[in-house]
Structure 1
Amino acid sequence: MHDVDPLHKFEKQFQSFVENNPNVISATQSSSHIPESAKAVVVLSPLSLRHQFPRFWVSKAYKKTIVERPERLLACSMGIAAAITMYPALFSLKTSHSKKTSLRASHVLKVHGRDWPRELLQLCKDSDEVLAAKKLEVPESWNAGDIYLSRETIEALEGSISALELGLDSIFRGPSPEQTSNRAFVALRPPGHHSHTATPSGFCLLNNAHIAIEYASETYDVTHAVVLDFDLHHGDGTQDICWKRAGFKPDEDQTEDSEYDEFGKKFAEYPKVGYFSMHDINSFPTELGYATKDNIRNASTCVMDAHDVNIWNVHLQKYETEEEFVKLYQTKYRTIFAKADEFFRTAKLAMKAEGKKFKGLTVISAGFDASEYEQASMQRHGVNVPTFFYNMFTKDALKLAQMHSHGKVLSIMEGGYSDGAIASGVFSHLIGLQNQNWIKEWGSAQVVKEIVRGCKANWKPYKTKRARDVIRIWAEEVIKLGRAMIPDFEELLFEHEVAETAAEQTAARRVTRSKKTTVNPVVPVRDSSAIPRTTTPTPVNSRRFDQKAAVSGEQGPASTVPFVEQELHSEEDEEDDEDYVYDEELNQTFNRTVEDITIDDISRHLETLDLTHANEEEQKRADEQQRPRIRPDSNAQGRTAPPSSSSGSNNYHYKIPSGSTTRHLRNSRNSRLLNFDDSDISMISHISTARGHTTRSGQTKW
């Protein structure tokens, strides 16, 4: 059972962290000067842990191919904890443990219709009996290697929906504007961007982004939203639902509906949503050698303001150096922000012309499986992004939100399947969510390695540490905070896995003593076949249920199944430290970055997020602006006309950040930061003239 306060253990551990690190005391004391509106909310979804692989009869080797696992939330917690240790006064932690929202809620049904939630619920309820008979619990047409269900999946999905609601409530509702945050990150699973209206796919059962947007429309009158998706894979489900919102009949809908014309089109629905994605065109659902023509075409669609459709897809490219990646980002990937800006501008003009009120929302589909630290099998096409990308992208998303959605940003966790990718990606993303610069050392291999040690069920602190080994000392603080975030980690992940490992070791000793070989029993599957049938080719990274693999742990005909070589957790012993090399320079530099943050005036870190009121003359000029005209300059970066402001009486513009924000970015260490221009969104310029800015006050929980 949960503690009365599910964050009690975390708060106690945080207090210990403060006491053990005097440098952060000034930072926590500064929190009383930080307005609640300036903090980023992190929403935890403990019930998401309940969705667990239920086929108890399969081999341990086969279980390792199931990468959408509860442990992903533990890795995510490590990234959250790392960000909190750097900026302890700038985050507010919340949990949705006590609230469950029905799959029949109106904002779910508007996205998925009435049939799919009902079918999903029934399959989950029936799964206990089916699984007890050692049969597959999902329909034959599904990919049983990708998707699994249990009765507890209902609770997990209900908890995820409530976490989305809590995130939106946190950024839209408060005692006053001064006490309402603008940015929220929701840590949940399973992911959602492959989920279509009535078809599950790629680990995804419900489309979290669209459900969140529908809730924001119902509850807070949001009329337009953009989804910015940086997952390695194309969010085909999210894009398909955008077509539905534009009034086009979903492919799954075979009913005769008089609302649609002879071409399968009706009036577009509100809220209107634009989808803007960067992804690998050779990965699922467009896997090389398996992709259909339609899938490739869909993942390459670029349509703006045509029949209520706004979609822009950009394909990731290979790069050799970080500087080369930055050039790609500035000249190619940033295009999606220009297109999202265009969508918002056009929507504002259209709403004004119709005499309607515009209200925007910026949503990030935050998948971390494109990370440089993701498993090699996931990135077998040689496409990835450096860790600092998540910081750059997120800061650009903030600027877009400042111009069009009053700074409101909801980030939702999508993919990411190795501990290193999730922990480092979330760390970088959250630092960006507070508009702070990413320090290169924070994403070093040594730092990431130390953090992900905490993802082992049987983790223990080092018995001895060097006094100068700042990274290891800091990482252990991070691990303790991360493991304390959700009480259910102990019951569902730590105790169970440790007990299972102990039982296996005992069994192995018995076998050794008796010198007998244990033979795995035959695994029953469906009465009709061992492998589910499907009418479409199976992508390489969509694992199927393979009988031989499930029985023996070997790879049968489906030898192309990825992730088999993946180690979900390092197999090295806790005390095995033979490959460790102490890096004096890295530790000294890392220590300086921490000290500079913790002794600095935390309130100054927020100056880059100031909102400024536009005067009437600016508002008049902004309303007269037409859609942006992109013209590349000599540096291959474009510029557009200044942005129009939001409709309504309270209008805001993004204030150009000053050249200096915090001391740790003003000193000689600037040479260690990558040289790129992050002062704007490349193709979007900002209005710098302002009459004044609001001052806000608030109080943190810590």
Structure 2
Amino acid sequence: MQADPLENFYLQFQKFVENNPNVISAARAASQIPESAKAIIILSPYSLYHVFPREWVSKAYRKTIVERPERLLAASMGIAAAITMYPALFNLKSSNNKLSSLNSPHVLKVHGTKWPQTLIKLCKEADNKLKNGKIEVPNNWNSGDIYLSSNTLLALKGSLGAIETGVDSIFNGPSPDHISNRAFVVIRPPGHHCHVSMPSGFCLLNNVHVAIEYAFDHYNVTHVAVLDFDLHHGDGTQDICWKRAGFKPDDDTEEEEQEDNKYNDFNKRNAKFPKVGYFSMHDINSFPTETDFATNEHIKNASTCIMNSHDLNIWNIHLSNWSTDEEFQKLYRSKYRTLFAKADEFFKTAKFEMESNSNENENKPFKGLVIISAGFDASEFEQTSMQRHKVNVPTEFYTTFTKDALKLSQMHCKGKVLSIMEGGYSDQAICSGVFAHLIGLQNQDWINEWGSEQVVKEIVRGCKPNWKPYKTKKKNDVIRIWAEEVIRLGRSMIPEFDDVIFKSKEKLLKHKQEQHAALTNDGKFNESLVTATISQRVTRAYAKEREYKKHDNIKKENVPFMQMNLSDEDENEDEDYEYDEELNKTFNRTVEDITIDDISRHLETLELIQQDDDTNEEDNKDKSKRSSSRRLQSSNGMYKIPSDKTTSNLKRDNNNRILSSSQQNHHHQHHTQNYDDSDISMMSHVSTMKHSTRSGGRW
């Protein structure tokens, strides 16, 4: 039997579930949620093997290489944090058995035939050059941002496999009941700077456009809206949109033109499916439009706004400075949300054109998809060397933006959303950004305590290769105890962390011991333990809990982490640490019973049954009845447990911070406008050649 790549994670998760009664109680709700309603997270172990290979450089130079395998470890911490809050709403998949060719049709349609061949050749030649102390990339490339080795080819094949797995997961599952609407693909290197045949800004293949072609080839997706919130303009993604519109790329490498669709005298030919709209918010002063070094062409490209003309739909918005949460919320409502209005316009026009010109459109029915280019380098936690111009977004932004993307997708794409990881380079930015993004991907609310500096600081401790748990903790320090649970889950998520990042014999030994522990008494491997989904493990742990209650004479060895009796002694390993009692109290309240109360709210607010275009009216009526019944069932008291400790009953201020009882009274008397947009239409907020490197150096 092939070992399950998620085995180690699930063994660790089983311990977490059994130790936490608030998670065990979620089993009552987990059984009510169909697998199709869960968000799929795609892990890409092969992406780790793209490693900076120049061994002769100094340590100081190595520190400037921010696109590194550790980015996946930081992402895993964010994933683990989201799972601890909502274990019944996520499923993990590993693309460990999926390596795809750079010569796949969906890659060649984006990059032509020459670029993949060139990239393959350079990767294969890189090792010999490196052995001789030579730079392995061509002289006209930015060697400060881009590096190659033979393992880079493995990483790229693995990333392509993960992308395909992500698309398959939302259009074709093991069964109709296992097709989710939402998937997050965690890969590296990023892709949105890569042009048709020119790498840039860490990017070697344009992951988003490859996903689009794959979705078109395999699932007949005709229209895609790409929403890009990376700090940097996705110049490569935008340029390929011009190619899709029929314009000849500047770096075109196609051997020959199609006989039935040649370029005219102005280097334009007919556009073909799939049609793509690109909608980006970014810092106009950062790469590839770095202040003092940007060309006028790059600045124009990063500022392009054109809709429904010449087969183009492109809209760019520049990030602005803000100083308070209220200022940012106003910015988001009046400026940044315009992207969704433009994407909505793109889809509406596409539907009209498809219906009006059915013959010209080869009788293709409209089929839409929303793709998020999920870069987290605009985060308030990103390192200053990357975020040099002091424009950023609060962590909550990633939840709000993602929830708006869900609304857009529900309006036009039957809820289908594919998110692909782009930038984000500090551990703090990636961890907190992924955490908030996944909360939004399941239509839940972000709680500001989760993104506090202290919480993020505790989680990212797990990104250290030689991480060790605290020997002692304050017994009421819920944050540190919870963070260590998250760290254990995150570090166990991808076994290849041991080979690439940890390189620890102790970890490998522990892995073998846990494999041995997974054996049943008769020495046979417990397959059911390995293959269970997250929600199934929650349910099994709940069954165990009931058994404990039946037999009072059985002594329970595991102690819930909220109730661990730990030493009050402080260690010198963190001398600047100050225990925040109030933050720990409010953080504790945010996780108590959350999986019961908010799961039921999830079922009420996020449509689970989509009406198919090819069903008749009676079928649609039946589906509507079933959908209404399911929503009523979720709120009729079957498992929605009213409690003054659940998060929905905690009053919050405008910034989603929990208020004490006295503060609640004061807040009621002096109420200010709350920016809850859940019932507001996104359309109502619309107001009518030198380069720097992405990592900050110069060419």
Matched, 1:240 2:239: yes
Partner secondary structure for residue 684 of structure 1: helix
Matched, 1:251 2:259: no
Aligned AA for 1:352? Answer: E
Partner of 2:450: 442
Matched, 1:328 2:310: no
Partner of 1:586: 583
What is the deviation of 1:246? 0.4
Instruction: Map 1:305-454; keep pairs closer than 5 Å.
Output: 305-355=308-358, 356=363, 357-454=365-462
What is the deviation of 1:164? 0.6
Partner secondary structure for residue 330 of structure 1: helix
**Which one has the bigger helix percentage?**
2
Partner of 1:167: 166
Partner of 1:115: 114
Partner of 1:667: 649
What is the deviation of 1:599? 4.4
Cα deviation digits, residues 169-223 of structure 1 (max 9, x gap): 1100025443210000000000000000000000000000000010000000000
What is the deviation of 1:50? 0.5
Partner secondary structure for residue 683 of structure 2: coil
**Further displaced range: 125-134 or 660-669:** 660-669
CA contact (8 A) 1:83 1:431 kept: yes
Cα deviation digits, residues 562-595 of structure 1 (max 9, x gap): xxxxxxxxxxx99521111111111111111100
Partner secondary structure for residue 340 of structure 1: helix
What is the deviation of 1:253? 1.8
Cα deviation digits, residues 417-447 of structure 1 (max 9, x gap): 0000000000000000000000010000000
Q: Give the alignment's TM-score, normalised by structure 2.
A: 0.79
Quick one: structure 1 residues 179 and 601, their matched pair in 2 at CA, closer, same or farther if it must change by over 3 Å?
A: same
Please give the alpha-carbon distance, in whole angstroms, between the structure 2 residues aligned to 1:184 and 1:450: 27
Partner of 2:599: 602
Partner of 2:125: 126
What is the deviation of 1:604? 3.5
Cα deviation digits, residues 116-165 of structure 1 (max 9, x gap): 00000000000111111110100011000000000000110000001011
Quick one: structure 1 residues 651 and 177, their matched pair in 2 at CA, closer, same or farther if it must change by over 3 Å?
A: farther
Structure 1 unaligned regions, length at least 5: 500-572, 621-648, 687-702
Please give the alpha-carbon distance, in whole angstroms, between the structure 2 residues aligned to 1:651 and 1:284: 48
Quick one: structure 1 residues 672 and 82, their matched pair in 2 at CA, closer, same or farther if it must change by over 3 Å?
A: farther
Structure 2 unaligned regions, length at least 5: 508-569, 657-673, 686-699
What is the deviation of 1:496? 6.9
Quick one: structure 1 residues 206 and 574, their matched pair in 2 at CA, closer, same or farther if it must change by over 3 Å?
A: farther
CA contact (8 A) 1:392 1:678 kept: no
Matched, 1:266 2:269: yes
Aligned AA for 1:684? Answer: M
Instruction: Map 1:497-508; keep pairs closer than 5 Å.
Output: none
What is the aligned-residue identity percentage? 68
Residue from 492, 497, 502 that aligns with 1:489:
497
Aligned AA for 2:7? Answer: H
CA contact (8 A) 2:589 2:647 kept: no
Please give the alpha-carbon distance, in whole angstroms, between the structure 2 residues aligned to 1:237 and 1:132: 32
What is the deviation of 1:677? 2.4
**Further displaced range: 361-370 or 374-383:** 374-383
Please give the alpha-carbon distance, in whole angstroms, between the structure 2 residues aligned to 1:670 and 1:474: 23
Please give the alpha-carbon distance, in whole angstroms, between the structure 1 residues aligned to 2:369 and 2:25: 34
What is the deviation of 1:60? 1.2
**Further displaced range: 376-385 or 290-299:** 376-385
What is the deviation of 1:669? 2.9
CA contact (8 A) 2:37 2:608 kept: no
Quick one: structure 1 residues 219 and 360, their matched pair in 2 at CA, closer, same or farther if it must change by over 3 Å?
A: same
What is the deviation of 1:683? 3.1
CA contact (8 A) 1:6 1:486 kept: yes
Instruction: Map 1:73-152; keep pairs closer than 5 Å.
Output: 73-152=72-151
Partner of 2:564: none
What is the deviation of 1:37? 1.5
Partner of 1:473: 481
What is the deviation of 1:681? 6.5
What is the deviation of 1:614? 7.3
Partner of 1:625: none
Q: Give the alignment's TM-score, normalised by structure 1.
A: 0.79
Quick one: structure 1 residues 396 and 191, their matched pair in 2 at CA, closer, same or farther if it must change by over 3 Å?
A: same
Partner secondary structure for residue 43 of structure 1: strand
Aligned AA for 2:683? Answer: I
Please give the alpha-carbon distance, in whole angstroms, between the structure 2 residues aligned to 1:682 and 1:139: 50
CA contact (8 A) 1:27 1:601 kept: no
Quick one: structure 1 residues 346 and 672, their matched pair in 2 at CA, closer, same or farther if it must change by over 3 Å?
A: closer
User: How large is the Cα RMSD of the aligned pairs?
Assistant: 2.8
Please give the alpha-carbon distance, in whole angstroms, between the structure 2 residues aligned to 1:140 and 1:162: 30
Aligned residue pairs total: 580
Please give the alpha-carbon distance, in whole angstroms, between the structure 1 residues aligned to 2:191 and 2:416: 21
Please give the alpha-carbon distance, in whole angstroms, between the structure 2 residues aligned to 1:481 and 1:95: 15
CA contact (8 A) 2:325 2:655 kept: no
Cα deviation digits, residues 246-304 of structure 1 (max 9, x gap): 00000012667471000000010210000000000000000001000000000000000
Aligned AA for 2:580? Answer: D
CA contact (8 A) 1:245 1:268 kept: yes
Quick one: structure 1 residues 579 and 498, their matched pair in 2 at CA, closer, same or farther if it must change by over 3 Å?
A: farther
Please give the alpha-carbon distance, in whole angstroms, between the structure 2 residues aligned to 1:264 and 1:343: 25
Cα deviation digits, residues 288-336 of structure 1 (max 9, x gap): 0100000000000000000110000000000010110000000000000
